[in-house]
Amino acid sequence: MELKDVYYQYPGGEWALKGINLRLEKGKKVAILGPNGAGKSTLLLHLIGILKPKKGAVYFDGSRVEYTKAFLKRLRQKVGLVFQDPDTQMFAGSVFQEVAFGPLNLGLEEQEVRNRVLKALEVMGIEDLKHRPAHFLSYGQKKKVTIASVLAMSPEVLVFDEPTAYLDPKSSAELVEIMEKLYLSGKQIVISTHDVDLAFSFADWIVVMKDGRVLAQGSPVEIFTDK
């Protein structure tokens, strides 16, 4: 994925991205690191085409992202975003229904949907929750359900906005382990975080952002020695 000279301004607001040039290589664990308000979430929303640059362009696999229904549908099968707050990504019903929602929307056959849902629940270790109403789960469990929902779409790239926010240390560690496992299974992983320790321990490529700009990028060692 690539962003070329991307600028974005929220309606009536300030410029949240001010000329982002960025190339996210395949096969790397990337962390977008920066304080609150740096523009990290805004950048991630550009990667899946939810936001459209006011200036500049986004590329996926060499094609320039087009903001048509058809293009965005294809893009979102390849790039899955796990939002910071699981409640923004949940609908209603059981955990099974929740995770089945995306694949059903793709028009897949019932058996295929079922296989994908069960596989995703297994990867997340939450098969036993499948008949439970998603709304009444704990925060950490909801987080796992939303990740399972994204996995069930079989994306090539998984994007996590502040993956460990509001999780206790044990759930955070568990989530990092899951991200490692997904990476080892061949998924490209991009996370945003304000947590320097998480970026340094998890990522092998770090992009430092502040005030809508990329300040530096490189391997953890390069970033560390620059400071």
Task: Show contacts with ligand ADP in window 162-181 (CB under 6 A).
Answer: 181
Among 185, 197, 225, 227, binds ligand ADP (CB under 6 A): 185
Stretch that binds ligand ADP, among 22-30, 119-127, 135-143, 199-207 (CB under 6 A): 119-127
Task: Show contacts with ligand ADP in window 2-41 (CB under 6 A).
Answer: 10, 13-14, 16, 34, 36-41
Among 20, 31, 33, 42, binds ligand ADP (CB under 6 A): 42
Q: In what order do the strands lie in the sheet with 15-23?
A: 15-23, 2-9, 55-60, 63-64
CB of 148 to ligand ADP, least distance (A): 8
Which residue's CB is nearer to ligand ADP, number 82 or number 120? Answer: 120
Distance from the first to the final alpha carbon of the chain: 27
Phi-psi region of 13 (alpha: psi -120 to 50; beta: other; left: phi over 0): beta
- CA gap 212, 218 in Å, rounded: 18
Number of chain residues interacting with ligand ADP (CB under 6 A):
24
- Paired tokens of 152: 């069930």
Taking alpha carbons only, the member of 39, 40, 65 closest to residue 52 is: 65
Which residue's CB is nearer to ligand ADP, number 141 or number 192? Answer: 192
What residues contact 153, with CB distance under 8 A and at least 6 apart? 76, 77, 80, 102, 103, 106
Which residue's CB is nearer to ligand ADP, number 34 or number 53? Answer: 34
Among 109, 122, 168, 180, binds ligand ADP (CB under 6 A): 122
Stretch that binds ligand ADP, among 46-54, 72-80, 120-128, 164-172 (CB under 6 A): 120-128
Q: Give the HSE-up count for residue 160: Cα atoms under 13 Å, Cβ half-sphere.
A: 33
Residues near ligand ADP, by CB under 6 A? 10, 13-14, 16, 34, 36-42, 116, 119-120, 122-123, 151-152, 154, 181-182, 185, 187
